[in-house]
Every structure is written in structure tokens, then in C-alpha cells.
Amino acid sequence: MTFHPNRHSMSSHWLAFTSNRRFHQQPRLVDRAEGIFYYTPQGQPLYDSLSGLWCTPLGHGNQAITEAISRQLGYLDYAPAFNVSHPLAFELADKLAELAPGDLNHTLFCNSGSEAADTALKLARAYWRAKGRAEKTKFIGRSKGYHGVNFGGISVGGIVGNRKLYGQTLDTYHLPHTWLAQNRFAKGVPTEGDYLADSLLSILEVQDASNIAAVIVEPMAGSGGVIVPSAGYLKRLRELCDQHDILLIFDEVITGFGRLGSLFGADFFDVQPDILTCAKALTNGVVPMGAVISNDDIYATLMDQPGDDYLIEFPHGYTYSAHPLACASALASLAQLTKPALMSKVRELSGVFEQAIHQLKGLPLVEDIRNIGLAGAIQIEADPAHPLKRASDISALCWDKGVYVRFGGNNLSFAPPFICTAEDIQHIFARVAEAIQEYAKTL
Ligand SMILES: Cc1ncc(COP(=O)(O)O)c(C=O)c1O
């Protein structure tokens, strides 16, 4: 396929989360992908160093997924999501109940991580109302947190650039982020920072727990720049939520399905949330899907509400909830992502990844490096005059060197596919190191 962007087609597609004006000057297109590579229309291969947008851990063109979707397409292309369902939806929900930790056994399906976040927040409010505690409506998120782009998600989210244009949000408060200067260049889970969870108490001191529905955090802040909490932080948060009757929601849109070397971040940190949201790797990114998995108590509370059986217990859902093609894609992905051999490989590669990314310590402009599992970030010293420019410029240089690198704020983020090799990881960071060095020389 040949496609030559011209002025008209460039402006007709308003790109998501993109500086469109810069893109028009330097369009970056891919028109094919296979395994761990994207290919430009000119045929240049690019290492996919972020598994798309953290969502394709099995790489591109996975045969089992392609076959499962093709089969499903010829069988049942769409089923109404309301009052009707189809067998694959139940099969997938059963699978998620089996895989998710503890009594997270009940899945509401949606189509993205953003929808999952907003669904979870609505579920938390509905739960407290059903419990007779309708005043528990406020939410607590965390600075630098990312929960997608819908109104609920940006309310609890803590990345200022994603919230500041949009006026009034939900009634939310934010824990401080878990980045600490003394943890700079820490490898894996840092030691310092359990005490940061106690900031919840300062919020409660002013807002009172009787008004709070839920705390929502990512086990590891992914989009905020792979900010890893200390080992005891989430345990402490769980303790405090229990003491104060507050639901704990883990947004596992990035950490779900193996990114940390455990199936979920909840498993990695050994902390049980009341609600877990996921998306992305659930279908290996091939068909959009999100999921909100809630515990037995929340489900039972909503099912046991007084009133006739014909009434809807939770009036919420999407036309494409549990879409048959997404279910087929998810079942085929999970069959592979849950193989113990693959998780062992992720853990093994995590060691290689840690070593490779930390080799960039000492390069000019590199002010922090963080990693956990097969995820990591390199924090670039900001140019005071143009605080968000350098990471973007370095990412552009990486592209020219054959590596697709995601930047966000001052961070270059990495989450290579689980199917890559140690050599691929080393190659990626060698090119990134060159790009940083070359860029620094131009300043
Ligand atoms: C933790 C987290 N939550 C929610 C989202 C939003 O997901 P989506 O872009 O599928 O709406 C993301 C996306 O990166 C995410 O990382």
C-alpha cells in the first residue's frame, strides 16, 4: 500500500494526543507490522519498544489471535450487549474470574481503559448507594496518575496537562505521586516511600472518610513515567482503605496481563483491590476492549437490591460491551499470556532490560532511570524554556535510527513485547543512547 499524505488528508485526520502541527512537518507513518517490528510505507523497519501503546505484548500478527478473530467473524459478528449475550462473553468472564486475584469474580466489559476507569468509578458510587451510604461520592486519585481521558478518568488522574483545559471535574482529591529524589536510578522497586500512603490520612482529615467512595491508583504509574511505588506502599494504602471503609481500585490497564512478570500488579505487590480495571493487553491490542472486575461483595450488594427482578441493577454499559470479536481476541491472547513459560521469559528478560536501560545512566541529560518488570522510563532533564521538548526531539531521532520510542512529558518510556530477545533489548537501548548523545551535542 502506498500512501502519500498531502495537505488535505493531513488535516482531515486530527491525531489523538499528538502535536498535530509538528506531525504535519514530520509525519511518521507505519503501514505494516509483524512480530516486534513496525514498517514505514518506505519499508524501514522500526523496533516497537513500547508494544504499540503498552498493548501488544505478543507482538504483531499473532497467528492464533488472527485465526480466532477470523473464525468469530464468520460465526457471530455482533451481538446486542443489552438483555442478550453470547457464549464467548461468558467464557471470557469465567477466564478473568479464574485469573484475577482473590474474589475478583465479576466482569463488566467495555471498550477501553478510559471507559473502564469511568465504569469503575460509577460502580463504586452505585455500591455505596446500594449499601445505604449515598453520601460516599468523592474519589481520591494520585498526582501523576493516568486513568484515561473521560471525565471520571481526568478527575482522578493527576497529569495536569490532561485536566487543565476542561473546567470542572468530579469532586476528587489527590495523593502525592511516589517519585522521590532519593530513589533516582533505583533498580526495580525502590526502598523509600511507604510513608507516602499515609497522605491519605491528611485528605481524610479534611474530607472525612464518610464522604469518600474510593481510592484509585495504578499499581505502577505507567503514563506518568513508570513511577514505581516502594514495596510496602500499596499494602499501607489497602490497610488505610479497610480502616476507613473506602474501596480500593487498581487501574491495571498497563500492569495487567504480565507486564511486571506477574499476571497482575496486584499479584506482584501482593495487595488485593476491590475493583480492578484492565484493557490493552487483554486482547493484545488487536480489538479494543476494557474490563472492570469487581469482588463478590460489590456484585452481591448490587444484585441484592430490593425491587422487582425486571429492574436493571446497574444502569450502565456500551453498545460494544463484550463485542464478539474482542472476546475472541481476548481468549486467544489470554491462552498465550497465561502460559507459565511466557511469564518466566518475561521475568528473565526483565533482568536484561534492567541492566540495558540502566546502562544509560551518566549520559548527558539523563536525570533518572526507573524500571519494573518489562517496563521502564528514562527521564530527560527539562529545558526550562521548553519543558516538554527534549524527550519529543530525542524520540524523533530514535525513529530515524529505526526505533519507535514513546515520549510523555520529560520521559522516554519503554515496554517491549514479551516475544523479543535479549539482543533486541540491547539493540533498542544502544540506539536510544546514540540518540541522546547526538541530541545533547546540538544544545
Ligand atoms: C493506567 C491507564 N488507565 C487508563 C488508560 C486509558 O486507556 P485507553 O487509552 O484505552 O482509554 C491508560 C492508557 O494508557 C492507562 O495507562
Calculate how far, in angstroms, residue 146's C-alpha sits from the geometric centre of ligand 1. 7
252 lines ligand 1 (CB under 6 A): no
Closest CA to 263 of 169, 344, 190: 344
Distance CA 222, CA 376 (A): 9
Residue % of the chain over a pLDDT of 90: 97
| Res 1 pLDDT > 50 | no
Q: How far apart are the CA of 237 and the centre of ligand 1, in A?
A: 22
Structure confidence by residue, pLDDT tens digits, 227-273: 999 999 999 999 999 999 999 999 999 999 999 999 999 999 999 99
Residue 60 Cα to ligand 1 middle (Å)? 20
**118 CB near ligand 1 (under 6 Å):** no
Whether 4 has a pLDDT exceeding 70, the answer reads: no
Instruction: Tell me the best of 115, 226, 253 to mutate to test the pocket of ligand 1, counting ligand atoms within 8 Å of each CB and taking the most.
Output: 253
Q: Pick the residue whose CA is nearest to atom 3 on ligand 1.
A: 147
If pLDDT is split at 50, 70 and 90, which confidence band does 8 have? low
Per-residue pLDDT at 10: 86
Q: Going by CA atoms, what residue is nearest to atom 8 of ligand 1?
A: 113
Domain ranges of the chain: 7-61+340-441, 66-337
- Burial of 13 (C-beta count, 10 Å sphere; 0-12/13-18/19+): exposed
b/e map 369-380, b = 16+ CB within 10 Å: bbbbbbbbbbbb
| Cβ partners under 8 Å of residue 437, min gap 6 | 363, 364
* Atom number, ligand 1, closest to the C-alpha of residue 280: 10
**CA of 251, closest atom in ligand 1:** 1
> How many angstroms is it from 383 CA to the middle of ligand 1?
28
Output the pLDDT for position 5. Answer: 61
pLDDT tens across 149-188, in order?
A: 999 999 999 999 999 999 999 999 999 999 999 999 999 9
Half-sphere exposure at residue 189, Cβ-oriented, CA atoms within 13 angstroms: 14
Beta-sheet strand order (sheet of 406-408):
366-372, 375-380, 411-414, 406-408
Answer whether 266 contacts ligand 1 (Cβ < 6 A): no
**Nearest CA among 212, 204, 282, 218 for reference residue 246:** 212
Instruction: Give residue 104's Cα distance to chain centre.
Output: 19
Q: Is the C-beta atom of 253 inside 6 A of ligand 1?
A: yes
pLDDT-based confidence at residue 3 (cuts at 50, 70, 90): low
For 62-117, the pLDDT digits (tens) are: 999 999 999 999 999 999 999 999 999 999 999 999 999 999 999 999 999 999 99
Does residue 117 have its Cβ closer than 6 Å to ligand 1?
yes
Per-residue pLDDT averaged across 45-55, rounded? 98
Does the beta carbon of 113 lie inside 6 Å of ligand 1?
yes
Is the shortest distance between the CB of 292 and ligand 1 below 6 Å? Answer: no
Q: In ligand 1, which atom is closest to the CA atom of 145? A: 1
CATH class of 66-337: alpha beta
Ligand 1 mean position, distance from CA 276 (Å) = 13
Do 313 and 303 form a contact (C-beta atoms < 8 A)? yes
As given in the structure block, the three cell numbers for residue 105 are 469474580
Residue 430 contacts by C-beta under 8 Å, 6 or more apart in sequence?
none
CATH number, domain 7-61+340-441, options 3.40.605.10, 3.40.50.720, 3.90.1150.10, 2.30.30.100:
3.90.1150.10
How would you write the chain as a 3-class SS string?
CCCCCCHHHHHHCCCCCCCHHHHHHCCCCCCEEEECEEECCCCCEEEECCHHHHCCCCCECCHHHHHHHHHHHCCCCCCCCCCCCCHHHHHHHHHHHHHCCCCEEEEEEECCHHHHHHHHHHHHHHHHHHCCCCCCCEEEEECCCCCCCCHHHHHHCCCHHHCCCCCCCCCEEEECCCCCHHHCCCCCCCCCCHHHHHHHHHHHHHHCHHHEEEEEECCCECCCCCECCCCCHHHHHHHHHHHCCCEEEEECCCCCCCCCCCCCHHHHHCCCCCEEEECHHHHCCCCCCEEEEEEHHHHHHHHCCCCCCCCCCCCCCCCCCCCHHHHHHHHHHHHHHCCHHHHHHHHHHHHHHHHHHHCCCCCCCEEEEEEECCEEEEEECCECCECCHHHHHHHHHHHHCCEECEEECCEEEECCCCCCCHHHHHHHHHHHHHHHHHHHHCC
The Å distance, Cα 68 to ligand 1 centre, comes to 25
Backbone angles phi, psi at 257, to 5 degrees: 70, 40
Model pTM above 0.95: yes
pLDDT tens for 74-87 read 999 999 999 999 99
For 336-392, write each residue's pLDDT tens digit: 999 999 999 999 999 999 999 999 999 999 999 999 999 999 999 999 999 889 999
Does residue 158's CB lie within 6 angstroms of at least one atom of ligand 1? no
- Cα 353 to ligand 1 centroid, rounded to whole Å: 23
Cell 474482542 appears where? 326
Is 47 touching ligand 1 by the criterion CB < 6 Å?
no
Question: Based on the number of CB atoms within 10 Å of its own CB, is 113 exposed (0-12), middle (13-18) or buried (19 or more)?
Answer: buried
Q: Which of 109, 223, 226 to mutate to test the pocket of ligand 1 (most atoms within 8 A of CB)?
A: 223
Q: Check if 251 has its Cβ closer than 6 Å to any atom of ligand 1.
A: yes
Residue 116 CA: nearest ligand 1 atom is 4
Task: Work out the mean pLDDT of the chain and round it to a whole number.
Answer: 97
Distances (CA, A) of 76 to 9, 17, 128, 152, 274: 34, 34, 37, 33, 33
